[in-house]
Amino acid sequence: MTAAAPSRILIVDDEEIIRIGCQRILEDANLIVDQAENGRAGWEMIQQTPYDMVLLDLMMPEMGGLEVLDEVQKYDDKIIPIIITGFATIETAVDAMRKGAYDYLPKPFSPDELRTKVNRGLEKRWLMLQTEQLREERDRNLLELTNEKSRTLTLINCMREGFVATNRSGQIVLMNPAAQHMLRLNREKAIGSAVAGLFGNPELEQKIAATLETVARTTTVTHMEFKASDARVLQANISPIVVDQGETLGTVTILIDVTEDKKVEQMKSDFVSLVSHELKSPVAAIAGYLNLIIDGLTGGNPEKERDIIVRSRDKADSLLALINDLLDMARAERRGAAKVRAPLDIVPLLGESVQFYQNDARSKSVSLTLTAAETLPQILGNSDDLSRLFANLISNAIKYTLANGKVEVSARMHEDQVEISVSDTGIGMSGQDLEKIFGEFYRAKNALARKITGTGLGLAICRRIVQDHHGHIAVESQLDVGSTFRVTLPVYKNK
Amino acid sequence: MDEQKRILLVDDDPDFIDINRMILEAADYAVDEAHSVPEALEKLSNATYDVLILDLMMEDRDSGFALAYAVRSDERLRTIPILMLTSAEEKTGFMFQLSQDQEWMKVDDFAAKPLKPADLIARIEKLLGRNADQ
């Protein structure tokens, strides 16, 4: 029983013969036994040494057995007290037992009686200690369990995705704040409520119900998309909660806000149909022109035919320009590591572009000049992209400027940024055009502009390049007076 | 042949104006052109036309509709046959059909761009013939 440490017993009795007798009998049973000759001495020893059991005589000088019993009970209720009494009356025994004694020994007692009662008491104590230990273990486990539960709950509550769990009757048992927000529900009220009619979305409710009903496999996931009340698009992935035996205990629904994805998807498909339209127009025009010749509507007039062929060629050229612009735009879209960036001087790049367009300007009798500050700090950029930016702005300016007009290109510091401006004395734009001019395929509506070819992508490409360089592009314009495009780019700071 | 029929071409795409003008002039029609809705309305108020050829999507998505509606609402103009040209199926993904859309389109014929010369002439002749019967 007490394999590890032998039990320790204190005998408190004023009769020496009893003390010695008991000690001998109990020591033979491999117990450690101490003696005290009165209540007070015994009580002091109890407070100094951990005893498993005390044998207490009821009638003692100084401090009586019942008094000691009282103190022991308060001190440590796992010490087993056994009362020894010379007055073996039912009353004293009952009194002692009521006060918490485990058992009593009426004097005189036989060694067997002593051994039996002590052994039983010690066994009781061992069981008490075992119970105590088990209870502690259980409490510790429960604490861990509670911690684990709250940890899982914390994780679920921190998810950006909505999380809704139902039991097998379709009542909500768990819902995280994200789901509450997405479904515009009060979590406290929703928990415990049936799903049916709660979400304001019959399809979702029906799918959750169907998931509960179908023969469950853990791999079954139902996907659906729906519009929430605030026009956000949510994706719901519903799966059954299945235990080992294939029994469905409920459902878990994960909600993902896909509104932004949908917007991007929409923008992409809008752009594709816009591009298709822009590509179709010149091809349709070429087909139209060729049909004129094929159907003999030119009356065999070679001059007329040549005019039509030249127009077709021009359309083919503009189609080519458009495709090149689309490729440029795709290139400008590509960000990050694929782009080589280096500190560079703006003025030489501007100079090259101005030089390149001198012939165009001259053939339209437009003056093209560059004014640059003596020294300008370097900027961090991609020289191909920046050349393209300057070329687009300068060629645009020339294109929309009438004969004898001026295009002025300048570079200078403005506050702490490098500012490049391209001003023309061209046909200008109205206020409503200004807002949209950097958008794809937008071209200013102007009787004069109609005669000018363009893809409608040039400025959209400019905007992308500038944004990619963390800069800013803006335009000021006045109808019939001219336009000024201003690009500001941040200065390159070495370290 | 009786007197030359007059056609107003309304399109903001100069190529289509030119192409259709050549087709129509070769078939001996008198052709006038307008590049915008206001310009078309101005021409319509100053002259008489036998057929109107409209592009559905000038400037804004529905300017062709707007013009057709304005013409149909005008006491003097409402009987002019209208041929609506469109590349709308490209832009919107919908193919307009005369049978379904005629009620609210208020036009007489409907065709996708580009039209082959023979097809354009056939459609114009049909519109003029029907108009003459009424």
What ipTM was reported for this prediction?
Answer: 0.77
User: For residue A88, what pLDDT is reported?
Assistant: 58
Are the beta carbons of B87 and A289 separated by less than 8 Å?
A: no
Residues in chain B, overall count: 134
Establish if B53 touches chain A: CB-CB under 8 angstroms.
no
Give the residue on B whose Cα is nearest the Cα of A452: B14
Between chains, do A276 and B90 touch, taking CB under 8 Å as contact?
Answer: yes
Is any Cβ of chain B less than 8 angstroms from the Cβ of A432?
no
Inform me whether the C-beta atom of residue A280 falls under 8 Å from chain B C-beta atoms. yes
The mean pLDDT of A248-277, rounded to a whole number, is: 85
Q: What is the pLDDT of residues A411-457, one digit of tens each?
A: 999 888 999 999 999 888 887 788 788 877 776 665 556 566 667 78
- Substitution target in B9, B12, B16, B19 with the highest count of A β-carbons within 10 Å is B19
Mean pLDDT of B81-104: 58
Q: What average pLDDT score do residues A284-301 get?
A: 87
Q: Are B23 and A297 an interchain contact pair (Cβ–Cβ within 8 Å)? A: yes
pLDDT, mean of residues B19-25: 91
Provide the pLDDT for residue B98: 47
Mean confidence (pLDDT) of chain A: 86
Q: How far A298 CA lies from chain B's nearest CA (Å)? A: 8
Question: Within an 8 Å CB–CB cutoff, is residue B90 touching chain A?
Answer: yes
Provide the pLDDT for residue B93. 42
Pick the residue from chain B with its C-alpha nearest to A280.
B90
Alpha-carbon distance B107 to nearest alpha carbon in chain A (angstroms): 23
| Residue B103 half-sphere exposure toward CB, CA atoms < 13 A | 2
pLDDT at residue B90 is higher than 60:
no
Which of B17, B18, B89 has the most A C-beta neighbours within 10 Å, making it the best mutation to test the interface with A?
B18
In a domain, B36, yes or no: yes
B91 interfacial to chain A (CB closer than 8 Å): yes
Nearest to B117 among A273, A291, A447 (CB): A291
Residues of chain B neighbouring A297 (CB-CB closer than 8 A): 22-23, 26, 117
Region of poorest pLDDT, from A87-96, A288-297, A474-483: A87-96
Beta bridge partners of A56: A12, A83
Of B15, B26, B118, the CB nearest to A315: B15
pLDDT at residue B134 in the model: 41
Task: Give the DSSP per-residue string, A169-224.
Answer: TSBEEEE-HHHHHHHT--HHHHTTSBSTTTSS-HHHHHHHHHHHHSPP-TT--EEE
Rounded Cα–Cα distance for residues A466 and A488 (Å): 8
Number of folded domains that form chain B: 1
Q: Is B134 a member of any domain?
A: no
Give B 100-119 residues with CB within 8 A of chain A: 113-114, 116-118
- With 50 as the cut, is the pLDDT of residue A339 above it? yes
Size of interface A-B (CB pairs under 8 A): 56
pLDDT on residue B57: 65
**Residue A445 distance to chain B (closest CA, Å):** 8
Higher pLDDT, A77 or A351: A351
Q: What is the pLDDT of residue A219?
A: 65
Would B1 be classed as within a structural domain?
no
Residue entry with tokens 């013939």: B129
User: Given an 8 Å threshold on Cβ–Cβ distance, is B59 in contact with A287?
Assistant: no
* pLDDT the model gives residue A440: 73
Q: Write out chain A residues lying below 8 Å of B15, CB-based.
A: 281, 285, 288-289, 311, 315
Residues in chain A with CB shorter than 8 Å from the CB of B12 are: 450
Take residue A303 and report the two structure tokens written for it: 């001059």
Chain B environment of A289 (Cβ under 8 Å): 15, 19
B35 touches chain A (CB under 8 A): yes
Q: Which residue of B has its CA nearest to A308?
A: B19
Answer whether B35 sits within 8 Å of A450, measured CB to CB.
yes
Give dist(CA A356, CA A345) in Å, integer: 18
Domain limits for position B18: 6-129
3-state secondary structure of A445: coil
Query: What beta strand segments (E) does A277-386 contain?
Result: 342-344, 367-372, 379-381
Return phi, psi of residue A478, to 5°: -140, 130
Give the residue among A478, A464, A470, A473 at the shortest CA–CA distance from A427: A478
Instruction: Using a pLDDT cut of 70, give the percent of chain A over it.
Output: 93
A276 contacts chain B (CB < 8 A)? yes
Do residues B94 and B88 make contact, with C-beta atoms less than 8 angstroms apart? yes
Q: Virtual CA dihedral for A227, A232, A235, A236, nearest 10 degrees?
A: -70
Residue B131 at interface with chain A, using a CB cutoff of 8 Å: no
Using a CB–CB cutoff of 8 Å, tell me whether A311 touches chain B: yes
Q: In the structure encoding, which two tokens stand for residue B62, read together?
A: 């529905």
Mean pLDDT across the stretch A279-288? 86
Please determine, for residue B91, whether its predicted confidence score (pLDDT) is greater than 50: no
pLDDT at residue A316, rounded to an integer? 92
User: Chain B interface, mutation test: which of A266, A271, A297, most B Cβ atoms within 10 Å?
Assistant: A297
A292 and B90: CB-CB below 8 Å? no
Contact A367, A406 (CB under 8 A): yes
Give the pLDDT mean for A340-349.
90
Q: For A449-455, which contacts have Cβ atoms below 8 Å and span 24 or more sequence positions?
A: A449/A400, A450/B12, A450/B14, A450/B35, A451/B14, A452/A399, A452/A400, A453/A314, A453/A318, A453/A321, A454/A396, A454/A399, A455/A278, A455/A318, A455/A321, A455/A322, A455/A325
Regarding predicted confidence, which is higher, A93 or A356? A356
Chain A residues touching B14 at Cβ < 8 A: 450-451
Which DSSP helix (H) or strand (E) runs through A103? strand A103-106
In a domain, B70, yes or no: yes
* Confidence at residue A312, expressed as pLDDT on a 0 to 100 scale: 92
- Cross-chain residue pair A285–B16, CB shorter than 8 Å: yes
Using CB atoms, which residue from B15, B59, B118 is nearest to A285?
A: B15
Question: pLDDT of B39-52, one tens digit each?
Answer: 999 999 999 999 99
Q: Tens digits of per-residue pLDDT, B77-89?
A: 888 998 988 765 5
- For residue B96, is pLDDT > 60? no
In a domain, B118, yes or no: yes
> Mean of the pLDDT values across residues B5-22?
89
N-to-C CA span, chain B: 20
Q: How far apart are CA A444 and CA A430, in angstroms?
A: 8
**Which tens digit of pLDDT belongs to each residue from A454-482?**
677 888 889 888 988 899 999 999 888 89
Of A277, A287, A447, the CB nearest to B87: A277
pLDDT per position as a tens digit, A95-154: 888 888 888 888 888 889 899 999 999 999 999 999 989 998 888 887 787 788 888 888
Neighbour-count burial for B13-29, b at 16+ CB within 10 Å, e otherwise = bebbbbbbbbbbebbeb
B123 inside 8 A of chain A by CB: no
- B91 domain residue, yes or no: yes
Q: How far is B51 from chain A (nearest CA, A)?
A: 21
Interchain contact, A450 vs B14, CB within 8 Å: yes
| pLDDT for A336 beyond 80 | no
Of A285, A297, A451, the CB nearest to B117: A297
Q: Does A288 touch chain B (CB under 8 A)?
A: yes
A443 has a chain B CB within 8 A of its CB: no
- Number of C-alpha atoms within 13 angstroms, CB side, residue A311? 21
- Taking a C-beta distance cutoff of 8 angstroms, is the pair A281, B13 a contact? yes
For B76, residues 6+ apart whose C-beta sits below 8 A from its C-beta are: none
CATH number of the structural domain spanning residue B84: 3.40.50.2300
Within a domain: residue B54? yes
Q: Is residue A404 left, alpha or beta, with left meaning phi > 0 and alpha meaning psi from -120 to 50? A: left
| Ordered domains of chain A (ranges, CATH) | 8-133 (3.40.50.2300), 159-257 (3.30.450.20), 262-333 (1.10.287.130), 338-490 (3.30.565.10)
